Amino acid sequence: MLIFFQKDDYVGVSVPTPSGYVFGYEPLASYDRVHHYMLYGCEKPYDESGFWKGQGKCGEGKAYILYVWARNAPDYELPEGVRMSIGNKGDDIKYLVLSIHYGMPLAGNTKDYTGVKIYMTTQPPPMLAAVYALASSDDLPPKLDRYYSNMSCVYNSSTPIHPFAFRPHTHVLGRIVSGYFLHGNEWTAIGKRNPLWPQIFEPINRNLTIQKGDVIAASCHFTTKERTEKTYNGMGSGDEMCNYYIIFWWDASLPKPEVAGQVCWDSNTDAMSKYPVDGWKPMPPNVEFDDLVHYNKEPFGVSQEAFYSEIDGFKLGQVVGLAFCPNGHLLIFRRPANAMGPSAFDSNNVLTNKTTISEAVILEINFNAHTPKITKRLGENKFYLPHGIYMDSEGYIYTTDIGSHTIAKWSVYGNSISQVWEAGVELQPGPGKDEFCKPTAVTRVKDSVFVTDGYCNNRVVELDASTGQWKSSFGSLGDSHDQFNLPHDIISTAKGNLQVADRNNGRVHEIRIDGQHLAVLEADQYKKIYSMDPSSKHIFVAPDKTDQYDENPLFIFVARTSQALTEYAFGPEHKKKFGIPHVIRVSKDDEDVYIGDVGLEGLWKFKVRFFEKKV
């Protein structure tokens, strides 16, 4: 989705409910981008179109709160044997509606793909679960060190309920939120928490039972001493809220409690006058939680910093490869404009123009200066059609040349390079053990060099890093989990595994260095990809157009590594578009993104504004 948000904007999304029983929720969200969201089960959605702007949630009929996320809360899994019924007879839930609150607009040309992954089973459980919410509509007077907003309702159902988790919610003025229930004259704590911490559903490690006639109560302690005017109760990030959510279970053989999915807005003054004092006592400090949760005062997004068609007066041409040096500089692997056209190879994949490029094809760029500077120009008269490049921690450069069908290791001496070894038969493509056919990319892990032998052989080849001798290979043409259809890029991860961009299959493989398949990342947003690069928590994917007639602008898609689902995307600003985003690399600090564009013949630089900290 692409929405140009204003401050405190809301978006609603609905989908028909599958039939089953929910046992877990995995949020795909960040507090840098999203203030909070709520998942509802509805008989009818607010808008039949399935997508709308505004605070609308459910339409006519029953509405149930299923899940709430805020402040970088982690995944949530229900206890064993406890499930939430959706899409089944009698639960009145025919649609799932996700209502997302964006506190600020997104910077740059950034798309957001916030959502939630729902884990379900078709097996009916012995215990069913639901959410009961208590909410206050109080406005907050200014200049008070303490203000208490209270809520309480009598439980009138005959079916006993058993709270097993709770979750507080305020905005920035809340200091403590607690919940209790009153049975006879005895108060029993449900739980309390600092609402400025990650707003998780905190487990209750006690067996609790609420029966008919009991009073369920909650209270929020606010501090408004820094406010000079009344703070209104409302949905905006500058407003305040006081909510307390309880997840409870009941015996699935008994009638559904009336409070399932409902909200208590009342406050029994007499009951609250006896509310336990401990419910208002502050929680002890938690440095870890305080550090994990932050809300940026500036919008999150990925902003275009520059597009370079030349640096220091040197025309970049087709930027096909990128790599970082140990000193933090960027290596650009380039070829002159129009170096590769439709007649570059004959029908046997043999290069037609067997003349090396006379210009420097490797540029070392210092982007730390106010204006980028070329610090080295390397590789004159040594390459035919450059493609992939990598520099190891010792300063050796590894390159692939699709024109000569070779891989080479180079040592750098001042402004020149010297070949250490070359693998493959120069200008002779082939499928053999000592041959390559248009190899696309290269990386190093420990004592091995790994090459995507891409355009013809559809395999990954392992070479000895010291000698260039063949060690092993894996992969073949196809679309199964251990096959490729043009492996176009390869990188090594922090864990020592490999990631391979499977271009025409539109996916990223994560593979152990022995060739064992670990995982695959693919998404509905793209069908082909050129390149990818992982940051500390995400993977950045540069897609290819679906076909030559596709006029839709390309975006870079960013997925959280642990989930392999698209989280956000970004593209050029000011009505500009990517041409062919051939290679992407992300700086070590996760802030700078460089994209080599073969179509526009240059280099893009983007800045990631504010990364989140997550539980």
Residue 174 DSSP SS3: strand
Chain centre to alpha carbon of residue 363: 32
| DSSP SS3 for 147 | strand
Largest CA distance in the chain: 93
Tokens representing residue 31 in the block: 């507090």
Indicate the pairing of strand 82-86 with strand 20-28: antiparallel
Q: Is 202 helix (H, G, I), strand (E, B) or coil?
A: strand
Q: Where are the beta strands (DSSP E) in 406-553?
A: 406-413, 416-423, 441-445, 448-453, 459-464, 470-474, 487-492, 498-502, 507-511, 517-521, 528-534, 538-544
How many other CB atoms sit within 10 Å of the CB of residue 356?
17
Q: How far apart are CA 233 and CA 241, in angstroms?
A: 6
Closest CA to 151 of 58, 262, 21, 18: 262
Nearest-angstrom CA–CA distance, 392 and 323: 9
CA–CA gap between residue 431 and residue 275 (Å, rounded): 79
183 is in an annotated binding site: no
Q: Is 294 annotated as a binding residue?
A: no
* Beta pairing, strands 162-169 & 242-251: antiparallel
Q: What is the dihedral of CA 467, 469, 475, 476, to 10 degrees?
A: 130
| Sequence-ordered strand ranges (E) for 146-255 | 147-154, 162-169, 174-183, 186-193, 202-203, 215-222, 242-251
Sign of CA dihedral 588, 514, 529, 427: positive
Q: Could you tell me which of 159, 121, 150 has the C-alpha nearest to residue 248?
A: 159
Q: Rounded to 5 degrees, what are φ and ψ at 447? A: -100, 15
| CB distance 55 to 596 below 8 Å | no
Whether residue 171 is annotated as binding a ligand: the answer is yes
Nearest 5°: the CA angle 581, 587, 590 is 105
Distance CA 152, CA 161 (A): 16
Residue 169 is assigned to a ligand binding site: yes
CB 478 within 8 Å of CB 506:
no
- Rounded CA-CA distance 613/74 in Å is 11
With CA atoms as reference, report the closest residue to 520 among 494, 540, 535, 499: 499
Amino acid at 106: L
User: Which residues contribute to the annotated binding site for Cu(2+)?
Assistant: 35-36, 101, 169, 171, 241
User: Which residues contribute to the annotated binding site?
Assistant: 35-36, 101, 169, 171, 241
